């Protein structure tokens, strides 16, 4: 029975991986789904004391002074690279805005040659040099088909908007079997997700999981010496690190949280029965077990994910009871 379940689980993971590789979501569909996602997140936080705003800023590749063309190839040392410049600018007080995530999306044109290992490299351009930011393998589907690709560009965008580095754009390079090769791209777009809190001053850079802030219940948050007793601990989960979760597009990760700690008598009981059980355990430890630290309040997480029936579509929905908000002894 165990072997059968394991086989079924492996088959499901492989199916989801194929769905991810076969997905071909356009920039227009990407924008539509993520704007719907951000709208729902915004609505769920309306009425809070501090007005937080979540936005998606979209920038198209444009001409850059000194460049012949932002989408042309430069041929240096037999390297074929795309020079991409995006006029990144976000309105508002820079101290109140934090970059949550940025992604470079482009349409990779089909290649009629036999399929081989393909890698994409992103460089941050400076006036005198360039620095490698990302090197990622690209799964090969049908080599003759054009496909939309997405590469993480958070580091580059943050360096321009948060660190004050002058924006000289990016360079995109492709390798076949470890050797530079020419691949055509079009519709290069930089998608930047931001969080702004007017009057708050810039905080530490957000992670995608912070789009769903956690309610801190009484005696729930771990701090100081209290973390030895039952309380909520942080647990950051990145979907890219979990097999079978490749179908989730956004958020990239979140704070799932977990409960851990001692449950002394009368300490933070989840309900009257838990209080009674803790007192009975104190009187006679053989009569009943000691209450355990467990989630007392869970929350949902909104996600953007690939439509398993339509490879060009994205869906937005809630994942119920996935985040631990509060812990108690039960």
Which range has the worst mean pLDDT, 4-8, 210-214, 318-322?
210-214
Q: How many CA atoms lie less than 13 Å away from 153 in the CB half-sphere?
A: 34
Residue 294 CA, distance from chain mean position: 27
Angle at 127 between CA 125 and CA 133, to 5 degrees: 20
d(CA 260, CA 178): 47
Which stretches of 36-139 are assigned E, i.e. beta strand? 53-60, 73-76, 79-84, 97-108, 118-125, 130-138
Q: What is the pTM of this model?
A: 0.74
Contact 7, 293 (CB under 8 A): no
Domains of the chain: 53-203 (2.60.120), 211-329 (2.10.90.10)
Cis check for the bond before 251: say yes or no (omega within 30 of 0): yes
Given a cut of 80, whether residue 238 has pLDDT beyond it is yes
What are the tens digits of pLDDT across the range 61-112? 987 765 544 444 444 444 578 999 999 998 877 778 889 999 999 999 887 6
Given a cut of 70, whether residue 326 has pLDDT beyond it is yes
Find residue 51's DSSP bridge partners. none
Residue 85's SS3 state is coil
d(CA 330, CA 291): 5
Q: Kindly tell me the sign of the dihedral angle through the C-alpha atoms of 36, 92, 52, 201.
A: positive
Using pLDDT thresholds of 50, 70 and 90, give the confidence band for residue 208.
very low
What are the tens digits of pLDDT across the range 105-139? 999 988 766 556 789 999 999 888 899 999 998 87
More confident residue, 230 or 225: 230
Token pair listed for 239: 């979907």
What is the three-state SS of 199-253?
CCCCCCCCCHHHHCCCCCCCCCECCHHHHHECEEECCEEEHHHCCCCCCEEECCE
pLDDT at residue number 190 = 97
Buried b / exposed e over 171-204, threshold 16 CB at 10 Å, is bbbbbbeeeebebebeebbbbbbbbbbeeeeeee
pLDDT at residue number 60 = 94
Given a cut of 60, whether residue 266 has pLDDT beyond it is yes
Angle at 201 between CA 199 and CA 205, to 5 degrees: 130
pLDDT at residue number 215 = 33
Given a cut of 60, whether residue 292 has pLDDT beyond it is yes
């Amino acid at each position: 029975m165990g072997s059968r379940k394991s086989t079924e689980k492996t088959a499901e993971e492989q199916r989801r991986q194929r769905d991810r590789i076969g997905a071909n979501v356009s920039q227009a569909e990407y924008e539509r789904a993520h704007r719907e996602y951000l709208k729902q997140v915004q609505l769920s936080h309306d009425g809070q004391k501090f007005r937080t705003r979540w936005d998606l800023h979209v920038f198209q590749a444009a001409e850059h002074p000194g460049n012949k063309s932002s989408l042309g190839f430069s041929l240096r040392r037999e390297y074929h690279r795309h020079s991409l410049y995006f006029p990144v600018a976000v309105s508002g007080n820079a101290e109140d805005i934090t970059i949550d995530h940025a992604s470079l999306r482009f349409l990779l044109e089909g290649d009629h040659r036999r399929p081989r290992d393909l890698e994409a490299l992103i460089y941050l351009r400076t006036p005198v040099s360039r620095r490698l930011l990302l090197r990622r393998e690209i799964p090969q589907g049908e080599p003759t088909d054009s496909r939309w690709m997405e590469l993480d560009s958070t580091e580059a965008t943050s360096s321009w908007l948060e660190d004050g580095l002058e924006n000289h754009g990016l360079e995109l390079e492709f390798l076949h079997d470890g050797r530079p090769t020419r691949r055509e791209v079009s519709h290069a777009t930089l998608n930047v997700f931001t969080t702004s809190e007017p009057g708050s001053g810039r905080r530490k850079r957000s992670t995608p999981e912070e789009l769903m802030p956690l309610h801190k219940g009484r005696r729930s948050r771990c701090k100081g010496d209290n973390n030895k007793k039952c309380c909520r601990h942080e647990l950051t989960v990145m979907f890219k690190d979990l097999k079978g979760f490749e179908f989730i597009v956004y958020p990239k990760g979140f704070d799932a949280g977990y409960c851990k700690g001692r449950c002394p008598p009368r300490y933070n009981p989840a309900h009257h029965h838990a209080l009674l059980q803790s007192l009975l355990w104190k009187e006679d430890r053989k009569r009943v077990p000691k209450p355990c630290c467990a989630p007392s309040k869970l929350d949902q997480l909104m996600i953007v994910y690939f439509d398993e029936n339509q490879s060009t579509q994205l869906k937005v929905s809630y994942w119920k009871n996935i985040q631990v908000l509060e812990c108690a002894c039960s």
